[in-house]
Structure 1
Amino acid sequence: MLTSGEKASDIVREKLLVNGGTAVIPLQKGDFCTITSTDNGRAFTSDKLNRHNFKYEFSVFDVVVDLLKKSPQRKAKKGNAHGKGDKVGYGRCTADTVVGTIAIHYFGKKPGESCFDPVFVLAAVLEWAGIAKNGWGYIQLL
């Protein structure tokens, strides 16, 4: 659980380091993903996100939590970036969704651009860290 003044990025990083830098985390549909700390604890990779070839800074979790803090009931739709109409700012990839806010505030995407959708892994990690509930179609801050 996130307390006042704590950052989600620090909680996830510390929990991962306590686990030796690698953790196997259950995904919502019953599969598992492996996350691994990289860059001396500044970033992480996952086998489900480009097979450990793409790094995410832990700050991506702060972006998600900032959205949840501002959302009604501290809950936001996950969204989607897979459909033809789901470009940044449109369809199911708007700024009030988790995928939309990651695209805009983490990746720096502009309206109409395509983006990668890492939410299924990031939501599972937030639940594993005790920060948020990974619900069907939404994430809610604990």
Structure 2
Amino acid sequence: MLFHTRRKASDIIRKKLVESGGIVTISLLDQKPCTIVVADGGCAFTSDKLNKHRLKFDFSVFDVIIDLLKDSPQHRARKGNAHGKEDKVGYGKCTSDTVMGAVAIHYFGKSQGESCFDPVFVLAAVMDWAGVATNMRGYIQLKNMDLV
């Protein structure tokens, strides 16, 4: 009996980062350098751009973004943000159809109206570096169709 298991963005990114020695410097969309480091024995990662390596993110955050992209028109979604005072979860530029909204709700577990830290500029750059999505100004588009 054959079982088809869908590849996961989290596994692809973790593997590529570990194969790079557990630390890599990538370019953000504005071409500034960003260092990504494996943490917690390969279960998480940190970045110098996300509170100077003090915040750890589980690799599953990338699967949350892929779930949004695979259900979005043309497998593309607005990044959104949580910077403005009106950009609370569910409002402004942090609605559930944006990458930021999906991360806030499905990764951070935030409820409508709450504030949320915005890591999307780094997450999108990592996904682009790993070849799973294309990081564009204002949008992310699924690149690796094996993830659908």
Report the equivalent of 1:89. Answer: 90
Q: Residue 34 of structure 1: SS of its match in structure 2?
A: strand
CA distance, structure 2, for counterparts of residue 39 and residue 119 of structure 1: 21
Task: Please tell me whether residue 110 in structure 1 is matched to residue 111 in structure 2.
Answer: yes
Unpaired segments of 5 or more residues in structure 1?
A: none
Report the equivalent of 1:39. Answer: 40
Q: CA deviation at 1:30?
A: 1.2
Task: Please tell me whether residue 11 in structure 1 is matched to residue 27 in structure 2.
Answer: no
Q: Residue 10 of structure 2: SS of its match in structure 1?
A: helix
CA distance, structure 2, for counterparts of residue 51 and residue 100 of structure 1: 23
Task: Please tell me whether residue 21 in structure 1 is matched to residue 14 in structure 2.
Answer: no
Normalising by structure 2, we get a TM-score of 0.93
Structure label with greater radius of gyration: 2
Q: CA deviation at 1:88?
A: 0.2
> Aligned letter for 1:47?
D
Report the equivalent of 1:62. Answer: 63
Superposition CA RMSD, Å: 0.7
Q: Residue 104 of structure 1: SS of its match in structure 2?
A: helix
Give CA-to-partner distance per residue, 1:3-39, whole Å, 9 cap, x none.
x710000000000000000010100001010000010
Report the equivalent of 2:100. Answer: 99
Q: CA deviation at 1:80?
A: 1.0
> Aligned letter for 1:32?
P
Q: Give the share of equivalent positions with the same residue, in percent.
A: 65
Q: Which consecutive aligned stretches of 4+ in structure 1 deviate over 4 angstroms post-superposition? A: none
> Aligned letter for 1:111?
Q
Report the equivalent of 1:140. Answer: 141
